[in-house]
């Protein structure tokens, strides 16, 4: 067991208060904290506490997964993560063009896909996947705008749902700033988004997506190809170890509508993830090999076996929690994390709560 430190990421859409409050740090209104990374990604590998090494040095290679704290202060970009073959092809194209990985013009930072799961720590809102076509038409009928009528015409035109969604999304993303102004109308959450990003085509596209309001402890899985935009709250994210993001709106970063449209799965609809019972709590195990997530508690003073196999990252979300591995002990408070080379013999003692992320399998 090794204590690892998170790496804060200061993006303009981040909350100035949510993550500092969770970590017990004073907020800095001038530096919103959008994310904190725990893992072994080259862009922000976690330092190993008490040493001059990072987790990337310790493991010698990437872990298959990455863990983040996520705190939007306003809506995050309308985005998609490409499926594996598209991620690899796009990465080769950007490499051949000689665009450095840290260049703002870079689209495909990694040659692997990035399915992810969001686990709410506070009430958390976001737009994830497409809504049924009939629901979109109903809301477009409430908007007195030519753009809304054109999108409605595409959604009620010929063809399967996926083709109609494609045409409606393209219509939204091709709209001018003048066409989008005032698009929110009588739909409160959409009007709020329009106020955050006036004239942004992503506002019009948002009406096609399903809005989630997750309670703490609920999760949504976002496979590669599923369009999404997180909105507010504090969550833990676990994902494949990639930082490839294609954006089409609601952002100050690079927008590439053509690349996003090539990568969207227009049949994708999301649902709240269903957990499975585990002796230590609830196990979320979506249909990917890169990661699973265990929400573990120890209500009694006796150690509770966690009994997972493989490399893990443990993050305390309510503290304190004591990790026990044979004669080794490690206490974690809220927001503190540890790397476990193999958690098979691990147990925990409360009264806190721990989230473990690891490979997508259960021992």
**Going by C-beta distance under 8 Å and a sequence separation of 6 or more, which residues neighbour residue 162?**
266, 267
Dihedral through CA 132, CA 133, CA 135, CA 136, nearest 10? 120
Confidence (pLDDT) at 62? 80
Which residues are 54's β-sheet partners? 47
Both structure tokens of 77: 């970009």
**pLDDT of 339 higher than 70:** yes
**pLDDT of 179 higher than 90:** yes
* CA separation for the pair 131, 120 (Å, rounded): 21
Q: Is 318 annotated as a binding residue?
A: no
Mean pLDDT, the chain, whole residue set? 94
Q: Is 298 helix (H, G, I), strand (E, B) or coil?
A: coil
Q: Is 273 annotated as a binding residue?
A: no
> Tens digits of per-residue pLDDT, 316-336?
999 899 999 888 999 999 999
> Tens digits of per-residue pLDDT, 11-34?
999 999 999 999 999 999 899 999
The single residue of 150, 152, 167, 247 carrying the catalytic annotation is 247
Between 94 and 302, the more confident residue is 94
Q: Which residues of 12-43 are buried (b: 16+ CB within 10 A; e: fewer)?
A: ebbbbbbbbbbbeeeeeeeebbbbbbbbbbee
In contact, 264 and 227? CB cutoff 8 Å: yes
**pLDDT of 189 higher than 70:** yes
* CA separation for the pair 140, 52 (Å, rounded): 56
> Tens digits of per-residue pLDDT, 264-279?
999 999 999 999 998 8
Both structure tokens of 265: 């799965």
Q: What percent of the chain has pLDDT over 90?
A: 86
* CA separation for the pair 310, 65 (Å, rounded): 12
Give the global pTM. Answer: 0.94
Instruction: Judge whether 247 counts as a catalytic residue.
Output: yes
Q: What percent of the chain has pLDDT over 70?
A: 99
Total Cβ atoms within 10 A of residue 252: 12
Instruction: Please report which confidence band the pLDDT of residue 60 belongs to, taking 50, 70 and 90 as the band edges.
Output: confident
Q: Is 81 annotated as a binding residue?
A: yes
Confidence (pLDDT) at 184? 85
In contact, 44 and 62? CB cutoff 8 Å: no
Confidence (pLDDT) at 257? 97
> Tens digits of per-residue pLDDT, 282-320?
999 999 999 999 999 987 778 988 877 789 999 999 989
Instruction: Please report which confidence band the pLDDT of residue 215 belongs to, taking 50, 70 and 90 as the band edges.
Output: very high
* CA separation for the pair 222, 129 (Å, rounded): 8
Confidence (pLDDT) at 343? 73
**pLDDT of 362 higher than 50:** no
DSSP-assigned letters across all residues of 51-67? SS-BHHHHHSS--SEEE
Positive or negative, the CA dihedral 159, 163, 168, 171 is negative
Q: Which domains are seen in the chain, by residue range?
A: 10-53+62-127+212-263 (2.60.120.10), 138-202 (no CATH)
159 Rama sector, left if φ>0, alpha if ψ -120 to 50, beta otherwise = left
In 3-state terms, the chain is what percent helix, strand and coil (to 5)?
20, 30, 45
Minimal CA–CA distance to 294: which of 343, 328, 336? Answer: 343
**pLDDT of 176 higher than 50:** yes
In contact, 23 and 5? CB cutoff 8 Å: no
Positive or negative, the CA dihedral 297, 72, 22, 52 is positive
Instruction: Please report which confidence band the pLDDT of residue 255 belongs to, taking 50, 70 and 90 as the band edges.
Output: very high
Between 163 and 303, the more confident residue is 163
In contact, 319 and 268? CB cutoff 8 Å: no
Confidence (pLDDT) at 361? 60
**pLDDT of 4 higher than 70:** yes
């Amino acid at each position: 067991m090794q204590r690892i430190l998170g790496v804060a990421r200061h993006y303009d859409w981040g909350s100035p208060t949510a993550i500092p409050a969770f970590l017990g740090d004073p907020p800095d209104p001038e530096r919103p904290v959008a994310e904190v990374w725990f893992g072994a990604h080259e862009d922000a590998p976690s330092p190993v506490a008490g040493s001059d090494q990072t987790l990337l040095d310790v493991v010698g290679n990437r872990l298959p997964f990455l863990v983040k704290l996520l705190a939007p202060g306003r809506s995050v970009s309308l985005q998609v993560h490409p499926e594996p073959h598209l991620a690899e092809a796009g990465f080769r194209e950007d490499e051949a063009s000689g665009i450095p990985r840290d260049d703002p013009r870079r689209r495909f930072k990694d040659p692997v896909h990035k399915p992810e799961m969001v686990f709410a720590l506070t009430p958390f809102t976001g737009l994830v996947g497409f809504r049924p076509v009939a629901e979109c038409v109903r809301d477009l009928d409430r908007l007195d705008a030519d753009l809304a009528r054109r999108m409605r015409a595409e959604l009620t035109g010929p063809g399967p749902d996926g083709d109609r969604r494609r045409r409606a999304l393209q219509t939204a993303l091709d709209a001018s700033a003048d066409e989008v102004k005032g698009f929110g109308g009588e739909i409160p959450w959409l009007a709020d988004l329009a106020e955050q990003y006036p004239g942004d085509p992503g506002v019009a596209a948002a009406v096609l997506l399903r809005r989630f309001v997750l309670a703490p402890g609920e999760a949504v899985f976002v496979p590669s190809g599923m369009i999404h935009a997180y909105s507010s709250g504090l969550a833990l994210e676990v994902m494949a170890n990639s930082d490839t993001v294609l954006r089409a709106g609601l952002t100050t970063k690079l927008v590439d509508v053509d690349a996003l449209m090539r990568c969207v799965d227009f049949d994708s609809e999301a649902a709240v993830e269903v957990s499975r019972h585990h002796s230590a709590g609830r196990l979320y195990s979506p249909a990917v090999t890169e990661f699973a997530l265990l929400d573990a508690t120890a209500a009694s003073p006796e150690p509770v076996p966690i009994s997972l196999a493989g490399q893990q990252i443990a993050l305390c979300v309510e503290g304190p929690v004591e990790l026990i591995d044979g004669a080794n002990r490690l206490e974690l408070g809220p927001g503190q994390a540890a790397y476990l080379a193999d958690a098979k013999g691990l147990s925990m003692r409360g009264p806190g709560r721990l989230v473990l992320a690891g490979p997508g399998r259960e021992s």
